[in-house]
């Protein structure tokens, strides 16, 4: 099975902001969750990811769903293009880099597998994320508009009978913005089944909770991730997903489509 990273996303996972804020740049095998299996030794993965997300409603501080606009036919539509590169530095470790097409977001991360059995794998995750408002020039004289995030986590992959596997991860993130700090936690779980060789159906769930000085209040978001992957060749993989926000608090409610093409160079 090939390895891929899909963002959620935000990733593919989730809202675009949440996706970019997690460990970004490492490989995955499904949608929102990072797996514990690193890229093979000396292999390089390159992956462009396109996302299209739209929204008409939001959840307020009481978790009540509310319209975002006065007109019922109005909506907000956002698209993004990001590029991910990941390299296997040894049998149990990889490093990766992710950059958005407008250079407003960048992430670096690593994965170290510390346990491998016939049915289970465990890996440590760690990364750094940088973000500036879209359209703002990268100016060292304006650091007050730049946000930085450090994140660490744990990933678990288990292989089940009948071509099933499950990836789960838990991540803890600290955000720094305008001399303020905030905290976010992420939990992602994906189950995948190979219907036939090269064709995988995927079902996942993602949860994000944020609080602290950088937040206006406690923020929560739960997202359902539906999709699949298609191996069209030995070194070529297509991944598609449909993230649907189910429940939130102080969050925008989004639905969308994410598509990625993974190219593997041995």
Q: Go through 129-162 and write b for each residue having 16 or more CB atoms within 10 A of its CB, e for each that does not.
A: bbbbeeeeeeeeeeeeebbebebebbbbbbeeee
CA distance to 11, 31, 240, 242, 265, per residue, from 227 (Å): 13, 8, 5, 6, 25
Q: What confidence score (pLDDT) does residue 1 get?
A: 39
| Alpha-carbon radius of gyration of the chain | 18
* Structural domain includes residue 9: no
* Structural domain includes residue 228: yes
Let me know: does 98 contact 22? Beta carbons within 8 Å. no
Among left, alpha and beta (phi > 0; psi -120 to 50; other), residue 72 is: alpha
Q: What confidence score (pLDDT) does residue 140 get?
A: 43
Q: What confidence score (pLDDT) does residue 21 get?
A: 61
Cα–Cα distance for residue pair 243/258, rounded to 1 Å? 8
What are the 10-residue block averages of pLDDT along the chain, 266 residues in total?
35 41 87 95 96 95 93 90 97 96 93 97 96 60 73 97 95 89 95 95 96 80 97 90 96 96 93
* Structural domain includes residue 64: yes
Let me know: does 204 contact 192? Beta carbons within 8 Å. no
* Structural domain includes residue 137: no
Cα–Cα distance for residue pair 233/239, rounded to 1 Å? 13
Residues 6+ apart with CB under 8 A from 179: none
* Structural domain includes residue 85: yes
Domain of 166, in residue numbers: 16-131+143-265
CATH number at residue 39: 2.40.128.130
Q: What confidence score (pLDDT) does residue 35 get?
A: 96
* Structural domain includes residue 59: yes
User: For 22-74, what is each residue's pLDDT tens digit?
Assistant: 888 999 999 999 999 999 999 999 999 999 999 999 999 999 999 999 888 88
Return the HEC string of 179-247.
CEEEEEEEEEEEEEEEEECCEEEEEEEEEEEEEECCCCCCEEEEEEEEEEEEEEECCEEEEEEEEEEEE
Q: What confidence score (pLDDT) does residue 12 get?
A: 42
Q: What confidence score (pLDDT) does residue 9 get?
A: 35
User: For 219-229, what is each residue's pLDDT tens digit?
Assistant: 999 999 999 99
| pTM of structure | 0.88
Let me know: does 211 contact 219? Beta carbons within 8 Å. yes
The neighbouring-strand residues paired with 254 are none
> Would you tell me how many other CB atoms lie within 10 Å of the CB of residue 166?
17
* Structural domain includes residue 10: no
Q: What confidence score (pLDDT) does residue 214 get?
A: 62
Structure-block tokens of residue 20: 């970019």
Number of domains in the chain: 1
* Structural domain includes residue 189: yes
């Amino acid at each position: 099975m090939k390895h891929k990273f899909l963002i959620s996303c935000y990733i593919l996972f989730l809202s675009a902001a949440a996706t970019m804020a997690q460990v970004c740049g490492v490989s995955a095998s499904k949608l929102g969750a990072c797996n514990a299996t690193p890229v093979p030794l000396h292999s390089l993965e390159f992956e462009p990811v396109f996302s299209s997300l739209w929204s008409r409603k939001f959840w307020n501080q009481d978790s009540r769903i509310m319209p975002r606009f006065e007109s019922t036919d109005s909506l907000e539509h956002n698209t993004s293009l990001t590029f991910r590169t990941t390299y296997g530095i040894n049998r149990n470790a990889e490093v990766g880099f992710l950059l958005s097409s407008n250079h407003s977001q960048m992430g670096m991360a690593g994965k170290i597998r510390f346990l491998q059995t016939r049915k289970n794998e465990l890996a440590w995750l760690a990364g750094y994320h940088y973000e500036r408002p879209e359209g703002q020039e990268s100016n060292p004289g304006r650091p007050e508009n730049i946000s930085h995030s450090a994140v660490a986590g744990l990933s678990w992959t288990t292989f089940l009978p009948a071509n099933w596997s499950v990836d789960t991860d838990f991540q803890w993130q600290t955000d720094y913005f305008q001399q303020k700090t905030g905290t976010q936690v992420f939990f992602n779980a994906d189950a995948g089944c190979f219907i036939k060789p090269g064709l995988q159906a995927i079902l996942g769930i993602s949860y994000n909770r944020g609080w602290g000085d950088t937040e206006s209040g406690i923020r929560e978001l739960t997202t359902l991730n539906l999709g699949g992957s298609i191996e069209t060749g030995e070194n070529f993989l297509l991944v598609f997903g449909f993230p649907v926000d189910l429940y939130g608090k102080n969050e925008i409610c989004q639905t969308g489509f994410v598509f990625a093409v993974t190219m593997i160079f041995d």
